[in-house]
Structure 1
Amino acid sequence: MPRPLLLYDADCGFCLRAVRWVPRLGLATGVTALQDVDLAGLGVDAGRAERELPFLDADGAVSYGHRAVAGALLTGNRVLVTLGRVLGSRVLDRPSSFVYGWVARHRGSLPGGTVTCQPTVCTGAGSGVPEPSRRWSSAGSSTA
């Protein structure tokens, strides 16, 4: 069975800082930059991955945003699994989505944020802002 995989934007300082918590929390998921994998080959929507963190569970199912965070937490200890279940619950779907969206839109001004984290750059296509050079290469397929 493949290992779960959390993908992040390596050009975004906030994203990089956030995924550094994965080993600290003892999550049993790999962590790999979006730019280092074949997104289409993994079944990841590249456009959506520009806006929301993707997570592939052990069965290869892809979730995004707050559901991706919940999925990653489900690979942790009992406390984190419980937190993941709560975060991914139907009852908290709207508030969790709202909070995740707010963080995603403001990640450039949050701790660890950089110019490339600004929403106009992170949302990519149609923004009128040139994308960083490492964006979404279809080459390679690394798993951490």
Structure 2
Amino acid sequence: MADLPVLIYDGDCGFCTRSARWAERLPVRMRVLAWQEADLAAYRTTEDRARHEVLWVAPSGRVFGGAAAVAELLKRCRLPWRPLGWLLSAPVVRTAADLVYRWVAANRSRIPGATPACQLPPEQRPGH
């Protein structure tokens, strides 16, 4: 795999795109790609998975999804973000983070700034 980790997000989703732009400003070296523009097979993942969760592909090739992807991203950052990443990985917090992540993902079309594509069922979104 590459030297840099890769953050893969849904480029059709306004909330996801804003979140990816925020992540690009964090103190970490990484590549940021919309899944619609990524060679998902090269990253050892699938379109189905990329449609449903943000992905973090470590340089080792290991793929993390959802809240675990966010935790891995933060663990690669400098202070003050790194401890938050480790906290999100702790067993009890990880369970709560997974629940919050799933709620946000399921309701992203209702979050201010969502695009019309976010409101469509996944199979009807552009590029699908």
Q: Which has the higher helix share?
A: 2
Q: Aligned letter for 1:112?
A: G
TM-score normalised by the chain length of structure 2? 0.90
In the alignment, is the contact (CA less than 8 A) between 2:12 and 2:125 conserved in 1? no
Distance 2:112 2:4 in 1: 30
Whether 1:23 aligns to 2:24 is yes
5+ residue gaps, structure 2: none
TM-score normalised by the chain length of structure 1? 0.81
Listed as ranges, the matches of 1:106-117 within 5 Å are 106-117=107-118
Residue 125 of structure 2 is matched in structure 1 by: 131
- Please, what is the CA RMSD of the aligned residues? 1.5
Distance 1:73 1:83 in 2: 7
**1:9-55: CA deviation from partner (whole Å, max 9, x where unpaired):** 11111110111112322222210110111112210132121111111
Distance 1:27 1:20 in 2: 13
**1:66-120: CA deviation from partner (whole Å, max 9, x where unpaired):** 00011111121122111001112222121111100010011111122112113x5
Q: Secondary structure at the match of 1:92?
A: helix
Q: Secondary structure at the match of 1:116?
A: helix
Distance 1:33 1:23 in 2: 13
38-47 vs 61-70, greater mean Cα deviation? 38-47
Q: Secondary structure at the match of 1:14?
A: helix
Aligned pairs, how many?
A: 127
Distance 1:96 1:23 in 2: 21
Distance 1:23 1:37, change over 3 A: closer
Q: Secondary structure at the match of 1:63?
A: strand
Among all aligned residue pairs of Structure 1 and Structure 2, give the percentage whose two residues are the same amino acid: 36
How far does residue 64 in structure 1 lie from its aligned partner after superposition? 0.2
Structure 1 runs of 4+ aligned residues shifted over 3 Å read: none
In the alignment, is the contact (CA less than 8 A) between 1:4 and 1:55 conserved in 2? yes
Residue 43 of structure 2 is matched in structure 1 by: 42
Distance 1:111 1:131 in 2: 18
Ranked by relative contact order (alpha carbons within 8 Å, sequence separation 6 or more), the top structure is 1
Residue 89 of structure 1 is matched in structure 2 by: 90
Residue 121 of structure 1 is matched in structure 2 by: 121
